[in-house]
Structure 1
Amino acid sequence: MSTLSLLPVLKGFVIGAGMIIPIGAQNSYILSQSIKRNHHLVAATICIICDFLLMSLGVFGGGALINSNSMVSLIITWAGIAFLTGYGLLFFKSFYLANKDEMLKEIKPSTRKAVIFTTLAVTLLNPHVYLDTVVIIGSISGQFPEHEKYTFLVGIMLASLVWFYALSFGAAKMSPWLSQRKVQRVINLLVALIMWVIAYSLFITL
């Protein structure tokens, strides 16, 4: 493959990484599941598959469709606000109960089905995901000739694949330290705050 044909892949990788790496609802959830080693690879794989589908939709014209339908955008936004607020409360509960041994026992690991559902909700009920993967990436891909859109898409897909698996494996590897009660309390509080900040940022856009 020539240097010229590699350029769209590299651009896609850098742009994709710049959008995916900043901490958000997806990354927070993957981090929390990886620390617990609770179906973390399942969660990471679902995030990657969703990204692949949404990025493909963006590159091949889906951004205009979402922008043209304000009702779809409104429904997704309100659903996202409700979910992120409620899920933030669950993480805050884990933070609050962390020093109460008898209550801590009530917090059981999530089942595979619950992890799949929650990962899909964290991903698909967050309008920021559509903005990044469909609208913005779709707009950027319009700068490339038709034959280079495919290689650009490969680059942004690789960024998603590398990041989510690196985060999942890395956090699981560091689990003995990250799962210490004091560290876990801080992480749970941070995740709760991130969920609430994202929910509030969605609310003020209405």
Structure 2
Amino acid sequence: MLHVVINAFLLALGLILPLGAQNVFVFNQGALQPRYVRALPITITASVCDTLLISLAVFGVSAIALGIAWIKISLISVGVLFLLYMGRVIWRSKPAAANGGQAEGLGARRQIALTASLSLLNPHAIMDAVGVIGTSALRYDGWDKLAFALTSIAVSWLWFHGLALAGRIAGKADPSGRFLVALNKSSALLMWGTAIYLALSLFE
């Protein structure tokens, strides 16, 4: 079973490491919140959403859904619209130092809603979960499959909580707020670029 755990750990880490809309949002809000505990609604929501996606991928339910063309097209279309909206939110958000000492971190309810939407309406996250984690899990049965799923889920939880903490540290180390302002602008451009890429994929 050890080789199953190692395989799941490396696979999940490889998928979650690249800079994407979900990671950017978690990091930014970790930096913008006045205290790390205020970012917990984001990290917990992102982790729970990933737990759901991984569970569905491992046990094959989402693979069936993505095999239906209109569901895939609808998912990508909604994802494009949401990424455009999230890009606007991130572009306009400001760190405390650039906003008269008042951080523009989101409230708990909005944190949860936006994080859940960004996680569950993210076509890349869903397709990675189904195409990579779900496919890799097909080689395992019984307890090995369960160990594979639990390891992948654990990586997700540790990653998001660590990412928000890294954002908080970066926020405290940047009293001028210039780095975070630049990061917000870059993050927004990344989200808009992803939205354009996904929109173009609909015409392939």
How would you bin the TM-score normalised by the shorter chain? Answer: 0.7 to 0.9
Write the distance in 2 (CA, Å) between the matches of 1:168 and 1:93: 19
Q: Secondary structure at the match of 1:22?
A: coil
Offset of residue 130 of structure 1: 0.8
C-alpha displacement of 1:94? 4.0
Distance 1:171 1:84, change over 3 A: same
Count, aligned residues? 197
Aligned CA RMSD, in angstroms, stands at 2.2
Instruction: Determine helix, strand or coil for the equivalent of 1:75.
Output: helix
The amino acid of 1:86's aligned partner reads Y
Q: Which residue of 2 aligns with 1:74?
A: 73
Counterparts in 2 of 1:107-118, with a 5 A limit? 108-118=104-114
Structure 1 partner of 2:7: 11
Q: So what's the TM-score if we normalise by structure 1?
A: 0.87
What TM-score do you get using the length of structure 2 for normalisation?
Answer: 0.87
2:91 aligned partner: 92
C-alpha spacing 1:72/1:199, structure 2 compared with 1 (3 Å): same
2:17 maps to which of 21, 24, 29: 21
2:125 aligns to what? 129
Q: Structure 1 unaligned segments of length 5 or more: list them.
A: none
Which stretch of the first structure deviates more once superposed, 172-181 or 28-37?
A: 172-181
Select which of 172, 179, 185 maps to 1:176: 172
Retained in 2: the 8 A contact 1:62–1:138?
A: no
State the match for 2:40 in structure 1: 41
Contact 2:171–2:180, Cα closer than 8 Å, also in 1: no
Conserved? CA contact 2:32–2:103, under 8 Å: no
Structure 2 letter corresponding to 1:118: L
The 10-residue stretch of structure 1 (159-168 or 37-46) with the greater mean CA deviation from structure 2:
37-46
Unpaired segments of 5 or more residues in structure 2?
Answer: none
Letter of the 2:67 partner, please give it.
S
SS at match of 2:26: helix
Counterpart-to-counterpart distance in 1, 2:108 and 2:93: 19
Task: Name the SS for the 2:106 alignment partner.
Answer: coil
Deviation at 1:40, TM superposition (A): 1.4
Q: Distance in 1 between matches of 2:104 and 2:23?
A: 21
Partners of 1:107 and 1:157 in 2: CA distance: 31
What percent of counterpart residues are identical? 27
1:148 aligns with 2:144: yes
Change (3 A) 1:106 1:174: closer
* Counterpart AA for 2:126: Y
- Within 2, Cα distance between the matches of 1:21 and 1:92? 23
Q: Distance in 1 between matches of 2:73 and 2:178?
A: 39
Q: 1:106 to 1:158 in 2, by over 3 A?
A: closer
Partner of 2:159: 163
